[in-house]
Amino acid sequence: MPNSGSNNHIFLLEAEAIQIIRKAVQNFNNLALLFSGGKDSLVMLHLAKLAFWPNPIPFPLLHIDTGHNFPETKDFIDKVLDHYQVKMITGFVEKTIASGKAEDQTGLGASRNAIQSITLMDSIHTNGFDCIFGGGRRDEEKARAKERIFSIRNEAGKWEAENQQPELWNHYQLTLEKGSHFRCFPISNWTELDVWEYIAAENLELPSLYFSHQRELIDHKGMWLANHPYTNPENTLPVFTEQIRFRTLGDISVSGAIASNASTVDEIIAELQTLRISERGGRADDKKTEAAMEKRKKQGYF
């Protein structure tokens, strides 16, 4: 299937990512693509399709369902599965909580973001995955910038910076120790703008949440969150309505909205060229401490 974009930079990023995906499949036996339904994981799925066309994608999707997803995202995932004809394995955070392995947070600021790492590791061990693809990019956040393209995780799924090998001249260390596995990030070198330009070039469909719409919101510590029982459990915070969109999609409880009238991909690309705040600047889970992301990575987060 030929590339439909004319931007040479995007074409080179696409070629690099496809090469990485193929290298992973050549070197590992049991792979999966971590899929949230967000723009980065959708781009990863599309790249996987291109990498093996006309054959089917040779690995399943792995979705961690926290129970706090946006309904729009869940509906979109159903459409994606039908369109790409790919299998999806789902790990449920609710089951992790019910099993006693984790305690659910309650009240204002409650999040299941940390718990999903436990569910993810259970899913990896249950299915025997030795390599998991993710859509992480180095421009997202400073802890992401430390990540290798092939990031080794120990038996407990923990990321240890001192054990990551250099990847000079695209030479990757692909040797696994017993019980460990790799997280592979083929779009590490992409930026948020690259992702949107690729979405435009390939005409990819996305959840409606990425585009401008009116929504009831609450202001929680300076962040606009969707008004919902997960974010405003006792209706203690005032509710207001704004024209917004989401730059990054996680749970309802952590995804911050931005004021925006951008209702098309081209308008979003134009908007991004004026923004000076990173996209994860709108994620409540990354604002808890300065090293919040790195701490979660060391606990098994993707």
pLDDT, one tens digit per residue, over 133-161 is 999 998 887 777 778 899 989 887 788 87
Q: Assess whether 171 and 35 both reside in one domain.
A: yes
Q: Assess whether 158 and 242 both reside in one domain.
A: no
Looking at the domain assignment, is residue 160 inside a domain?
yes
Looking at the domain assignment, is residue 1 inside a domain?
no
Q: Is the dihedral of CA 289, 290, 294, 298 positive or negative?
A: negative
Q: Assess whether 84 and 222 both reside in one domain.
A: no
Looking at the domain assignment, is residue 201 inside a domain?
no
Element (H, E) at 41: helix 39-52
Q: Assess whether 231 and 267 both reside in one domain.
A: yes
Looking at the domain assignment, is residue 189 inside a domain?
yes
| Structural domains counted in the chain | 2
Q: Assess whether 178 and 106 both reside in one domain.
A: yes
Q: Assess whether 42 and 159 both reside in one domain.
A: yes
Q: Assess whether 47 and 187 both reside in one domain.
A: yes
Dump pLDDT digits (tens) for 146-202: 788 999 898 877 888 777 778 877 888 888 888 889 999 999 999 999 999 999 999
Return the structure tokens found at 77: 């995932």
Looking at the domain assignment, is residue 219 inside a domain?
yes
Looking at the domain assignment, is residue 12 inside a domain?
yes
Q: Assess whether 93 and 234 both reside in one domain.
A: no
Residue 245 near residue 212, CB atoms below 8 Å: yes
Q: Is the pLDDT of residue 90 over 60?
A: yes
| Close Cβ partners of 273 (under 8 Å, ≥ 6 residues apart) | 193
Q: Assess whether 221 and 77 both reside in one domain.
A: no
How far apart are the C-alpha atoms of 227 and 252, rounded to whole Å? 9
Q: Assess whether 168 and 271 both reside in one domain.
A: no
**Structural domain that includes position 274:** 206-284
Dump pLDDT digits (tens) for 248-293: 998 999 999 999 999 999 999 999 998 878 775 655 554 444 545 4
End-to-end CA distance of the chain: 30
How far apart are the C-alpha atoms of 253 and 105, rounded to whole Å? 11
Residue 39 near residue 195, CB atoms below 8 Å: yes
Q: Assess whether 179 and 234 both reside in one domain.
A: no
Q: Assess whether 229 and 80 both reside in one domain.
A: no
What is the pTM assigned to this prediction? Answer: 0.88
